[in-house]
Structure formats: C-alpha cells, structure tokens
Chains A and B, each alone.
Chain A
Amino acid sequence: MWLIDSSIGRKLIMSISGVFLVLFLLFHSLMNIVVIISPVGYNKICEFLGANWYAVVGSGVLAAGFVIHILYALYLSFLNLKARGNKSYAIKNNQKSVEWASQNMLVLGAIVIGFLILHLFNFWYKMQYAELTGAADSTTAANGVYWVSKLFSNPVYSIIYLVWLSALWFHLTHGVWSALQTLGINNKTWLPRVKLISNIISTLVILMFMSIPIYFILGFQPQV
C-alpha cells in the first residue's frame, strides 16, 4: 500500500488530514466568535450540535481525522529519527530562513494534544457527552454560554487557553503551507504567496479563538 510504504504517500495522508483539521478549526473558530456577537445564537448552535445524529457522526469523523494525523506523525517521526542515524552532530546550526516551528512540529503537536484533552474535559465532556449519556445536568448541556462563562471567569483558564493557542499558531504557520507543498500546489512564484496565505489563515483562526478568553479578561460577560 503506497500510502504507508512510500514517503510521499505517508506525507499525502499527513497533509490531507492536516487540511481537514484546519478546515475544522476555521469552522470551530467562526462558531466561537458568535458567543461575543450573539450569545443567544451561540446557544442555538450548541443545541444544534448536541446529541443529534449528524453531530455525533461529525464528531466521529473529526476524531478519526485527529487519530490519523497523530498516528502518521508518530510513524513519520520514528522513521525520520531512524534515517538520521545513531550519531548526531557535535555542532549543528540552521540558516536563518529555516522556521523554528518547522523544526519542532512534533513537540508543538504534543503541546496541542495535551491541552486538547483538557479542552475536551472542559467542554465536550460536559456538553455532548453529558447529553449522549443522559448524565445529570443534561438540562444545561446545550447551554454553551453558561459553560464558556463559567470556565473563563477564572483568569487562569483564560491564560492557559492563550498559551495553548499560541502553540497551535506556530503549528499552523508551518502546517498549512507545508500541506500545500506536499500536495504539489506550489511553485517558485507561489512559494512566498502560499506562505503568506498560510500565515493569514493561521493568524485569523487563532485570533478568532483568542478573542473569547481576551473578551473575558477585559471584564466583559456574554448576556443571554
């Protein structure tokens, strides 16, 4: 199977799953800023994406996307470590044009996953999961504004989320253009453009996400 045996095949899976996750992040962040614009509308979205069959199927596909991206990342990193050989350089410097993020994608990814687990516990466990299992408190399960306000009224959580999002920003700035390069959608003229597009997309997504904890830090509260 060339998607596992060949290097470009493995990278194809990595880039496609990555692009899928970036599209999800774009979708997720667009919905998030609704909590600032219209808290009532935000709760409607939470209800819509509760325990309905389409939301559950969507969550399953999304989880699969994450699992594939992570498994391939681990496999590729293992192969790359093996290819490097068992002796490392005494002195190794990089030229300035080599982005820091590009050399640390696995570490950045691990940070993102660590916080992701916390994030799932903060929201998904209390919302979709509570609704699916019919656990106590399921009446408030779709009350997104309540859960968001509860978490971010604690400034420590706001700061934790901002740190998490910064790591994700670094991961995305390299990830987006790298995915396009791997898919072959690049050439000499487009290389700087593709990098710029990648920076714009990642910054836009992260700013939308960050606006919510910042909104709370500044002392605002969404009113239903």
Chain B
Amino acid sequence: MEKNINVTLKIWRQSGPKAKGKFETYKLDQVSTDSSFLEMLDVLNEKLINEHKEPIAFDHDCREGICGMCSLFINGHPHGLDPGTTTCQLHMRRFNNGATITIEPWRSAAFPVIKDLMVDRSAFDKIIQAGGFVSVNTGGVPDGNALPISKVDSDEAMDAASCIGCGACVATCKNSSAMLFVAAKVSQLALLPQGKVEAAHRAKAMVAKMDELGFGNCTNTGACEAECPKNVSISHIARLNREFLNAKFKD
C-alpha cells in the first residue's frame, strides 16, 4: 500500500579523507514508501542540487543486490536492519512516518573515508590480488563429467562464492576483522579440485595481506555472519583457520 512519509535524516558529511566530518540533519517530506532507500537519497540529492548545495556522496551501482558496491551504516546496522539484504534492497516502507534515520559510512582503519558516506574498500582488492585466484591456462574446455564434485562441496563453494565483497562484515565487527570475507574467498576455491592445488599458498598469502592492511583479529563474535547481506556462514572461517594452520604446520 503506497503512502508518503516524512523522515529526518542524520547524515555524516565529510568533504575529504583528511577533513573533519560531522553529522548534518536534513528533513525530507513526502517520501513514497514504495521508493528504495537509495532512491530516497537520490531525491534528497536532487533537492540539495536545486538549492545549490553539495550533494551527498555515496556508493551504489547495480541496485539489485549483486554488485557489492552500496554500503551505508543505517541506524546502527550495515545495510540497514533487515538481515540478508543490501542497502539497495532496503525500502522506505520499513520506516515509520516521522522516523529519524542515522546514516554513517563504514568505519574501520582499513576503510578510510573518501567523501561523506563513500569509503575506500580497495584493501579487499589487494587481498584478492594476493591469492584469491586460480592460476591455470584454461585452454580448451574439459568435459564436466571428468571432474566429479560432490553436491555438498559444490553447494558449500557456491555459498562462499555468494560473497559480494561489500565490507559489511568489517564494518560491523568490533575488531574490524576481514576474516569472513577472506574465509569466503579462500573457501570458494579450496573446496573445488581446481582451487585445491594452490590452497595452502592462497590461505597464507591472503591472511598475510589481510594482517598487513591493518584488519583486526577475529574473536568469533558472529556479528559478521548476522549482518552479511549474503548470509555467508562463519563455518567458512573455521575452514580458513584449518587451511592456514595446516599450511603453516607443513612448512
């Protein structure tokens, strides 16, 4: 049922990486409950531009929950309160008329703010570059039936591969740990025969890069799993620990 609501937005504004940021309060009237959260921000930006003010910078791309570009810490939760969804999948019908919505950027030493609500998540790319791949010359496509993979393993690998690298796990973790992300990226390859060959090297290289970039140490609070828009399980972290420890003891 469509209706319009009035909301008060408390949004973090920061003009650059070095600048000292602060919260600004904006009132937005007649927001359609059918609009998505990001559309609401678009409307606000449109309004700011018409008033000759600086629009709010925030990350977004596909707006259908698969690219991992949107972020935003909304009312104390990454991607908003709803579990298993990204910010772009959040709709204004989840808010009451007259609600105050606090929007902050991801906060972590490894994710510095670029501007307003936009943070630099290239640390994740560097972790992937350290070993999150399979180095093979693909050549011709081999017969799929030549490499039998159990349904259990393929499902588990697929679940890990659903990680979109948005960084919600780091944002919500009290230790700012990237273990859920690294665990998902290690698991999706370690479970499959093509990835197993380099599994030991991959676990060591990616964990070393993660530590080097200043992410924290996992204390198994499970906050990451609870907030992950793709519901990636912390059981992948146990696998990462196993892979890493096995690799180290073999050395």
Query: Interface residues, chain A, CB within 8 Å of chain B?
Result: 2, 5-12, 76, 79-80, 82-99, 102-103, 105, 174, 177-178, 181-188, 191
Contacts and interface: CB of A to CB of B under 8 A. Distances in A.
B9 interface: no
B188 interface: no
Contacts, number: 142
B174 interface: yes
Given A7-B218, A76-B217, A83-B215, 7 more contacts: A84-B176, A94-B223, A97-B226, A102-B219, A187-B239, A188-B233, A191-B233
Contacts of A6: 207-208, 211, 244
Interface residues of B, number: 53
A181 B216 contact: no
B221 interface: yes
A139 B222 CA distance: 52
A103 B221 CA distance: 6
Nearest to A3: B248
Contacts of A7: 177, 179, 207, 210-211, 215-218
B175 A83 contact: yes
Interface of B: 10, 21, 23, 73, 75-77, 81, 83, 102, 104, 107-110, 156, 172, 174-177, 179, 207-208, 210-211, 214-223, 225-227, 233-235, 237-246, 248
A174 B218 CA distance: 13
Contact of A8 (B102, B227, B234, B245): B245
A11 B217 contact: yes
Nearest to B77: A93
B235 A2 contact: no
B107 A84 contact: yes
Nearest to A102: B221
Given A80-B176, A97-B222, A8 B215 contact: no
Contacts of B10: 90
B247 to A, nearest CB: 10
A178 B219 contact: yes
Given A181-B220, A188-B235, A83 B214 contact: yes
Contacts of B104: 89-91
A98 B83 CA distance: 13
A178 to B, nearest CB: 4
Contacts of B239: 184, 187
A98 B226 contact: yes
Given A12-B245, A79-B216, A84 B237 contact: no
7 contacts: A8-B245, A11-B217, A83-B176, A84-B174, A90-B104, A97-B222, A184-B239
A129 B15 CA distance: 63
Contacts of A178: 219-220
A107 B10 CA distance: 32
A184 B81 CA distance: 30
A89 B241 contact: no
Nearest to A91: B76
A184 B221 contact: no
A80 B234 contact: no
Given A82-B109, A88-B107, A89-B76, A191 B235 contact: yes
Given A84-B107, A103-B174, A191-B234, A79 B217 contact: yes
